[in-house]
Amino acid sequence: MSSRFAGPPMALLEAQAFALHTIYLQCYTGPTEVVTQEETGFILSPDDLPGFSDRIIELAGDPALRKRMGMAALKRAELYQQNHVIDRWEALLQS
């Protein structure tokens, strides 16, 4: 993902729900709540286009890394499933 400004990172969550790793350029809102650096994907500074392409090449050449990050991303995405979100809202409202 390469936008400089983003709202809720639905595209990242959707990718994670399909066990896909992500690479994105840091923006001012949203994605750092979803992506864990070098665990579920890569977070790069906004102007690091060479780093962006390097991470693509790295992932393209390393199936084990893609699988490890993808499975971690899937696990992370589960935190945003409806039942988990509803449970957190109910706990908040009952407190």
Query: What confidence tens digit (pLDDT) does each residue in 74-83 have?
Result: 999 888 888 8
Burial readout 56-89 (b: 16 or more C-beta within 10 A, e: otherwise): eeebeeeeeebeebbebbbebbeebeeeeeeeee
As a whole-number percent, the residues of the chain with pLDDT over 90 amount to: 45
Who's near 24: CB < 8 A, 6+ residues apart?
1, 2, 12, 31, 35, 41, 42, 43, 44
Find out whether 5 and 24 touch, Cβ atoms under 8 Å: no
Per-residue pLDDT, 9? 74
Find out whether 53 and 46 touch, Cβ atoms under 8 Å: no
pLDDT band at 7 (very low <50, low <70, confident <90, very high): low
* pTM as predicted: 0.76
Query: What confidence tens digit (pLDDT) does each residue in 12-43 have?
Result: 888 899 999 888 888 766 677 788 899 999 99
